[in-house]
Amino acid sequence: MESQVLKRNVRNVVVAGTLAIGALTATAAPAAAAPIEIPGIGTFEIPGLVLPQMQGAPTGPVAPPMNTTVGERAVEAAHTKLGAPYSYGAAGPNSFDCSGLVQWAYKQAGLDVPRTSYQQAAAGAVVPMSDLRVGDVISFYGGSHSGLYAGNGNVIHASTSGQPVKLAPLASMPVDEARRF
């Protein structure tokens, strides 16, 4: 008798509380039951009631956010500038030189990197070419040119006057080394 009273009281509290906050809707579906969990007490199913989907609420299992590196975020930013014009000494947001693009992209990702290609070639950690990751800064032509490794053997860079920011094969230029920030 005591357990039946406790169950009825818990059910009444669950229903009254849920209705009070507007999160429960009665439906005509006879087989539907909305499981409601009360921490420390248990899970209860209330036949004939379905929790409505609140606007903006997830509709099913939510995958955890993917962890991206600062380099990956920098490449995502650089991708948005494909086609932007080259301009010597420019560091964005509308035109770029090579190191200006690298610096701007990393800044969008939340990291300050050096401004010039020579400074970029001397900063960060040296990375073997066999261990490249998206976002690694690649130095070319003795350090006078830099770009961002975009994966799949490609680099995003602002090459030269008259050429927009573009995606090009890494092998299209003489590589010196890679740096990771």
Q: What percent of the chain shows pLDDT beyond 70?
A: 65
- pLDDT tens profile 54-80: 666 555 555 555 689 999 999 999 999
Query: What is the C-alpha separation between 39 and 72, in angstroms, rounded?
Result: 40
Give yes or no: 145 in active site: yes
Q: Where are the CATH 3.90.1720.10 domain residues in the chain?
A: 70-180
**Per CATH, which fold does 70-180 belong to?**
endopeptidase fold (from Nostoc punctiforme) (3.90.1720)
Of the residues 24, 34, 98, 137, only one is catalytic, namely 98
pTM exceeds 0.85: no
Residue 83 pLDDT > 70: yes
Of the residues 73, 81, 145, 179, only one is catalytic, namely 145
Give yes or no: 79 in active site: no
- pLDDT tens profile 27-50: 444 455 566 676 667 776 766 666
Helical ranges in the chain per DSSP H: 2-20, 70-79, 98-108, 117-122
- pLDDT tens profile 93-138: 999 999 999 999 999 999 999 999 999 999 999 999 999 999 999 9
**Residue 103: what are its φ and ψ, rounded to 5°?**
-60, -45
Q: What is the pLDDT of residue 114?
A: 98
**Residue 97: what are its φ and ψ, rounded to 5°?**
-105, 180
Q: Which residues in 126-153 are b (16+ Cβ under 10 Å) and which e?
A: ebeeeebebbbbbbbeebebbbbbbeee
**Mean pLDDT within 20-31:** 44
Query: What is the C-alpha separation between 121 and 179, in angstroms, rounded?
Result: 7
Of the residues 74, 140, 150, 157, only one is catalytic, namely 157
Residue 156 pLDDT > 50: yes
Residue 36 identity: I
